[in-house]
């Protein structure tokens, strides 16, 4: 599902905004940085880790055109600085009035980003329409550095060979491009080669997703907490090669960034050492300063997700319903919901509640909910032992 900043595809929703400069200080109690709108569940792909378990046809109950425009009005209702509206899916290009929605947002001054799927819908004409409509950024998914790995994840033979040209075409069109990669057992060994593709194609942002068991992601091989930690160290190294690095459902990456910038040690075992060696082999020694993203957003703090039927959730990976925009204004749901208030206050249990990085990181609320049914529980994928008693 998606993050100038990045965005996230619909299948991995809950990332960061794309292609736009944001104010340095945003009061997340009053407004989100990002509003994700799942404009449709329809998608021609059948990705193994799809949060939405998307299907070829739209589901009954999608917001109508009039309801979609009303939702965009509600996004503007947060006031300035307006949140970025991320049009996701499914595949947002399968919604017939998608560019009407972009035009309405632009008429209000609400910045828009899109996250289409790489399908026959992503034509040169569609790319031209994105540019002409004023879309600020576009994200695509790449889940392997080889056809075998990427196609195996995406569920469509030949998809890798379609995705690389699509990335190049979007970059050539002048759009700010973000690539989303979901880390799993099948592609762990290829992460350095995927990073090299980012550098070689001129991608602006690499947003790396860490699996949460929702939708078809429940059947996909997640890596261990120790491997999560090592991947975060590898991503810090990767952030020195000219493209911004962000993570989704791995906010502990921010802790790793802080620790490494303070001179903390990198791991001395695999898979980190293998990935690091391959990264240097492909791109040379790291240069420049780190472009790792460390804004303290999390599911429900700076991020909110509106499903195809108008139901509101803290994020796409956190299926905890908060109310419907058909019944109540999005502004009121975001500002007043008690669970969101607790998330924004870092009122967590377990290690997350005792951690000195609670506000900067806060753990994955989606993973806590998937594991325990409590969105305020600790994040089981983090290995860090807090210094606080």
Q: Which of 182, 177, 229 is nearest to 199 (CA)?
A: 177
What pTM was computed for the model?
0.91
Residue 84, helix vs strand vs coil: strand
Question: For residue 12, what are the CA distances in angstroms to 150, 186, 233?
Answer: 16, 17, 22
Check: CB of residue 167 under 8 Å from CB of residue 203. yes
Q: Which residue ranges form the domains of the chain, and what is each CATH number?
A: 10-283 (3.20.20.70)
Residuewise pLDDT in 10s, the chain (389 residues) = 333 233 333 333 434 444 444 445 789 999 999 999 999 999 887 666 555 455 677 899 999 999 999 999 999 999 999 999 999 999 999 999 999 999 999 999 999 999 999 999 999 999 999 999 999 999 999 999 999 999 998 888 999 999 999 999 999 999 999 999 999 999 999 999 999 999 999 999 999 999 987 644 444 588 999 999 999 999 999 999 999 999 999 999 999 999 999 999 999 999 999 999 999 999 999 988 999 999 999 999 999 999 999 999 999 999 999 999 999 999 999 999 999 999 999 999 999 999 999 999 999 999 999 999 999 999 999 999 998 65
Predicted pLDDT of residue 388: 67
Check: CB of residue 67 under 8 Å from CB of residue 326. yes
Predicted pLDDT of residue 58: 84
Predicted pLDDT of residue 162: 97
Q: Is the dihedral of CA 54, 58, 64, 65 positive or negative?
A: positive
* 35 strand-pairing partners: 85, 304
* 42 strand-pairing partners: 55
Predicted pLDDT of residue 17: 40
């Amino acid at each position: 599902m998606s993050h100038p900043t990045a965005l996230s595809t619909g299948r991995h929703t809950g990332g960061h905004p794309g292609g736009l400069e944001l104010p340095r200080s945003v009061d997340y109690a009053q407004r989100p940085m990002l509003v994700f709108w799942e404009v449709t569940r329809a998608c021609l792909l059948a990705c193994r880790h799809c949060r939405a378990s998307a299907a070829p046809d739209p589901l009954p109950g999608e917001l109508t055109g009039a309801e979609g425009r009303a939702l965009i009005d509600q996004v503007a209702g947060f006031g300035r600085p307006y949140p970025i509206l991320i049009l996701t899916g499914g595949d947002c290009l399968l919604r017939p009035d998608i560019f009407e929605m972009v035009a309405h947002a632009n008429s209000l001054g609400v910045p828009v980003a899109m996250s289409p799927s790489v399908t026959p819908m992503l034509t040169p004409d569609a790319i031209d329409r994105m540019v002409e409509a004023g879309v600020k950024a576009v994200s695509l998914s790449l889940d392997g550095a080889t056809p075998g790995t990427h196609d195996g994840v995406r569920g469509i033979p030949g998809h890798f060979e379609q995705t690389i040209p699509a990335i190049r075409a979007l970059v050539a069109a002048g759009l700010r491009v973000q690539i989303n990669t979901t880390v799993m057992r099948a592609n762990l060994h290829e992460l350095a080669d995927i990073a090299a593709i980012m550098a070689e194609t001129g991608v602006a942002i690499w947003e790396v997703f860490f699996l949460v068991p929702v939708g078809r992601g429940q059947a996909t091989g997640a890596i261990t907490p120790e491997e999560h930690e090592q991947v975060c160290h590898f991503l810090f190294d990767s952030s020195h090669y000219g493209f911004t690095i962000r993570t989704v459902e791995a906010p502990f990456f921010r802790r790793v960034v802080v620790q490494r910038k303070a001179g903390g040690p990198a791991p001395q075992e695999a898979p980190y050492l293998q990935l690091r060696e391959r990264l240097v082999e492909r791109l040379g020694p790291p240069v420049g300063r780190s472009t790792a993203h460390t804004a303290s957003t999390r599911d429900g703090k700076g991020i909110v997700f509106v499903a195809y039927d108008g139901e509101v959730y803290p994020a796409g990976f956190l299926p905890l319903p908060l109310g419907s925009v058909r019944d109540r204004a999005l502004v009121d749901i975001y500002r007043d919901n008690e669970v969101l208030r607790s998330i924004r206050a870092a009122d967590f249990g377990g290690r997350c509640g005792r951690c000195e990085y609670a506000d900067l990181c806060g753990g994955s609320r989606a993973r806590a909910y998937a594991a325990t049914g409590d969105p305020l529980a600790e994040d089981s994928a983090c290995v860090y032992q807090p210094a606080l008693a």
